[in-house]
Structure 1
Amino acid sequence: MDILLLVIGLILTLVGIAGAILPVIPGVPISWLGLLCLYLAPSLPFDWTFIIITGVVAITLYILDYIIPAMGTKRFGGSKAGAWGTTIGLIVGILAPIPFGILIGPFVGALLGELIFNQTEGSKALKAAFGSFIGFLASTFIKVFATLVYLGLFIYKVFMNWELFFS
């Protein structure tokens, strides 16, 4: 049972890292589930404090993931159309076979959202698209960092308790 939970936990933490970049997968909560699986292994003593603190961090970052890009858009004068354009542009950028599509897509999506749907003039639309893009980058950076920290904690706990799992 220990090995099964260890493998499932590792898979969940790795999927969480992918989810930190892909908008359809809640990366940080999935990485946290990987830590939870690790602690559910019968050989490892359960640490409520660790699970609660990392869980609160995961929930907070999940909520902030929706707030930070909107803050970036609003701060630079953007609208909901720009924020939606960022998300749609990210999805198109991931699927499009162009280099750096994941970076170009959100910016172009926000710009098109502002120009077409909000009918913002050129310079204001460009500024709003830039704000939306900065919000997206900030949110993505925080999520990637958090999921990598969760992976590091996972690996650390496995190596510190190696003899419990493989004895």
Structure 2
Amino acid sequence: MDILGWVLVILLFVIGMAGTIYPILPGALAIYAAFFVYGFFFSFKEFGFWFWTIQSLIVIILFIADYAVSAWGVKRFGGTKASVVGSTIGLIAGPFVIPVYGLIIGPFGGAVIGELIAGRSLEQSIKAGWGALVGLFTSVVVKIILQLVMIIAFILWLVF
């Protein structure tokens, strides 16, 4: 049973990290679930108030940062709310419509289409699309860092 427990924990960590790139995967929630799997298979006694508080705060920050950083990229490049909504729709739908490349084309195209629908020029719309990509890549970097912090904190909590 110990091996099964560790396999599930590691699998959830891998799914969580893959979720930083592929938005349909649960990301931080998979990593958070790994802590419960560990607790059910082994013990919850290693995790006290501070562990759960820190991990929960990181998850909350991840959810807020994910949207805020993406929106920042669009706004920084002159986009409006229409391109934020469009890039979000493109981020979710893109990988399904165009496998592999949809993760990049989706947010860019969604932001451009959102801006064009809002009556902006093609030049302004393309600029907002680039902002969506900048926001996406920045968001991915932030998620990778924070999710690695979650995993490292988990390991350190077990060791010390």
**TM-based fold match above 0.5:** yes
* Between 147-156 and 106-115, the greater mean CA deviation after superposition: 147-156
Does residue 15 of the first structure (1) align with residue 6 of the second (2)? Answer: no
Q: Distance in 2 between matches of 1:99 and 1:33?
A: 27
* Between 73-82 and 142-151, the greater mean CA deviation after superposition: 142-151
Q: Tell me by how many angstroms 1:119 deviates.
A: 1.7
What residue in structure 2 maps to residue 62 of structure 1? 63
Kindly report which structure 2 residues correspond to 1:151-166, keeping only aligned pairs within 5 A, or say none.
151-153=151-153, 160=159
Q: Tell me by how many angstroms 1:121 deviates.
A: 0.6
Percent identity between the two aligned chains = 36
Q: 1:5 to 1:73 in 2, by over 3 A?
A: same
Q: Tell me by how many angstroms 1:155 deviates.
A: 5.9
User: 1:61-110: CA deviations, max 9, x gaps?
Assistant: 11221221112222222122211221232234323456543223221221
Size of the alignment, in residue pairs?
159
When normalised by structure 1's length, the TM-score is 0.75
What residue in structure 1 maps to residue 89 of structure 2? 88
Q: 1:20 aligns to what SS in structure 2? A: coil
Q: Distance in 2 between matches of 1:68 and 1:97?
A: 24
Kindly report which structure 2 residues correspond to 1:8-157, keeping only aligned pairs within 5 A, or say none.
8-43=8-43, 45-48=45-48, 49-97=50-98, 100-115=101-116, 117-153=117-153
Structure 1 regions of 5+ residues with no counterpart?
Answer: 162-167
Structure 2 regions of 5+ residues with no counterpart?
Answer: none
What residue in structure 2 maps to residue 164 of structure 1? none
Q: 1:131 to 1:143 in 2, by over 3 A?
A: same
When normalised by structure 2's length, the TM-score is 0.78
| Contact 1:14 1:151 survives alignment (8 Å) | no
Q: Distance in 1 between matches of 2:5 and 2:99?
A: 38
